[in-house]
Amino acid sequence: MIDTKAISHESMVTFFIEGMHCASCVNRIETAVRDQVPGVRDVRVNLATHQAVVEGAISPAEIIQAIEHAGYRASVTPDGLDTHEATTTPDYIATRNRFLLSTLLTLPVFIMSMAHLDFPGVEWIQFGLTTGVMVCCGYPFFTAAFRQLRHVQANMDTLVALGTGMAYGASVATLFGVLKGPLYFESAAVIITLILLGRFLEAKAKDQAGDALRNLMALQPETVHLKQDSAFVEISIHSIAPGNILRILPGEKVPVDGVVISGESSINEAAMTGESLPVEKQAGSKVISGTLNTTGSLDIEAIQVGSETALARVIESVKAAQNSKPPVQRLVDKVAGIFVPVVMGIAVITFLIWWTLEYPMQLGVQAAVAVLVIACPCALGLATPTAIQVASGRGAQLGILFQEAQSLELAGKLTVLGLDKTGTLTQGSPAVHTIMNRTELDDETFLGWVAALESRSEHPLAKAIVAYAQAELKNTSGDDEPKIEQFHAVPGGGIVAKVDHEEWVVGSKAFLLSQAVTQSSLEKITVETKKRLGNADTDTTLDTMTQVWVGINDEAAGVFLIKDPLKDTSKDAVGQLKQMSIQPVLLTGDRQEVANAIAEQVGIDPSAVHAGVSPEEKQRVLATLKQQDKNVVMGMVGDGINDAPALAAADVSMAMGTGADVAMNTADMTLVDGDVAKAVTAIRLSRRTMQIIRQNLFWAFIYNVLAIPLAATGMLHPMIAAGAMAASSVCVVGNSLRLDKFK
């Protein structure tokens, strides 16, 4: 249970809100929470999910009180609960039932009115049936409007209650002889029925919009097979702890992130990475939660469990994106905040004009009711959040995790995209090709000592050297382990340490020079390396491989030549960026020759290659490009610790899911499987999403701009107005659902 009275220290709490039906509700709740509750740093209300996310040093009880004071009902969302599944579905069922009952009661009234049936007691039958509609089916509109009235507020429910109440009240007054004129029972009943139809279809569509999130949650099994002593027993997934041994049978979902201990199988990782081909797994292979075991049985050791798994992080990322707001939505909410009072004023003016011009009162009532009903800003409030909801869910299905809606909006506006080399354009699994050792140590000892230093680094090149050493030295005893002291890693440079009381430097040539290693010793080894490669006349082979240099006591002592092949999708991705009028820029700490070779292979212009740059210099390159052109929208794709400053500086940052945690924590979005082509997909999805949002907003605005004057001039019957209002919301949600088919 969450203590709603406690004040947390800079926490984030999610609330489920009942009674929201339009964009003005969103603005009113955000304003109430922000103005009435101290300590609130940010509040975001989402009409599509009926959730509010509040950040700051807050008391949940005070938040609930502020929301209720604004005329709505709120409750704290318990941790781990899928609120969309738990709360929207019952509301959807209740709306459906009210709509069906309302239809059953309204049809006879509509037929009697439209067919002009005249028999004794026909008016009283209409009165009885319409009263049933108002009391049994329309009561939520009136109770919500009354709550708003108590707090001197108004929203869509107020408009519906006023419109139908005027039609019903005038008809009752006429039936009892207080007024003279026609009856409007069919208008009141049909308006309620049509609005309920709209809400029913809207709820169904919004429920469908949450399918992606529910499908993600369904990827986690409820039970697992845990090894206890020598047997495997079935237990709840919530009882798993890191280090447990689990058995995954064919056809079962992987419940945790872990490592295969024994067994061989193929894992379908499409749900998490978007990769359609199964991946072979054997002892030592990593497995991720939410994937499907297809053929064999696997015994795995649980590494990350519960909220720490990849699947849990994906789900939380999707939820966060769906509950965040792009800049365009904040503007819409402000407009909608004053919309309802303005409409009520227009309705009053409409009635007074008709009355002043001495038209029959019933025509003025009819026009005012039509204005109230047609102007409900439902479509306006749903235009953006439903599109964001569907797009973020679809992005997760494609292996793209948006951290917030703003990045989903900005990605489509990118004009320049910075690309890291290692792990982004290349496979990120470099392999040692050649080692030059010019020390007194034998080759095995030299390799072992360098690997001991590199084992303390997270850089992909360091991992390549460690992996090579493990393979080459697997039969050695390891008795010659060096004594390492004063170890210091310089991001984007290399390593400095004392090894057996000698000063060792490992890194790029430029880094060794900065550490006072002599130029002549570096050049001497360069010449020897070229000769060994049989490439003395041309430096093509040597210079297109990454070089990791070793220096001891101011003298170059050796070099590791490392190859890192391009990813299969890199060239095509760069080509697509160019077709989209986005300039690709290569940023790498590697040498200019290697960077130029990679750029030539993928199609990046030589003028857009920045080699030998440190993490801070990558950041400065992006800043310089923005200074040169104020209209530049800058993106950055990277996977390592050395990319974090550039990722933080970019307008839109994308981290490879196969990279360092700090890169993913810094970035606006994560490309789960580390495929650079997904960056192109993310940009395309952003552009498509913004296109859908613009269509939705155009429809919502033009609908009101055209419909209100028609209603005010008596050219729109209230029943038609109700149908059009309901249709507008359904059209907006339906248009957003098209994003679910994005490829």
Q: Which helix H or strand E contains 248, and what residues bound it?
A: strand 245-248
Among residues 157, 257, 333, 420, which one is catalytic?
Answer: 420
How is residue 253 annotated by DSSP?
B
CA distances (Å), origin 362, targets 1, 168, 179, 183, 347: 55, 12, 10, 9, 14
**Which letter, b or e, does each residue of 252-281 get, where b requires 16 or more Cβ atoms within 10 Å of its Cβ?**
bbbbbbbebeebebbbbbbbbbbeeebbeb
Helix 339-356 × helix 156-175 angle, to 10°: 30
Tell whether the torsion through CA atoms of 380, 382, 385 and 390 is positive or negative.
Answer: negative
CA distances (Å), origin 338, targets 24, 200, 327, 380: 7, 26, 18, 13
Q: Count CB atoms within 10 A of the CB of residue 293.
A: 23
Q: Count CB atoms within 10 A of the CB of residue 440.
A: 9
If we measure between CA atoms, which residue out of 401, 412, 414, 416 comes closest to residue 694? 412
Tell whether the torsion through CA atoms of 541, 543, 547 and 549 is positive or negative.
Answer: positive
Query: Is residue 568 among the annotated active site residues?
Result: no
286 and 310 Cβ atoms separated by less than 8 Å: no
503 and 512 Cβ atoms separated by less than 8 Å: no
Q: From the centroid of its chain, how far is CA 272? A: 14
351 and 77 Cβ atoms separated by less than 8 Å: no
Question: What's the CA gap between 390 and 396, in Å, rounded?
Answer: 10
Tokens of 184: 């409007």
Strand blocks (E) in 642-720: 652-656, 669-671
| Residue 91: CA count within 13 A, CB half-sphere | 22
Strand blocks (E) in 250-343: 257-262, 265-268, 279-281, 286-287, 292-293, 298-304
- Which positions are annotated as active-site residues? 420
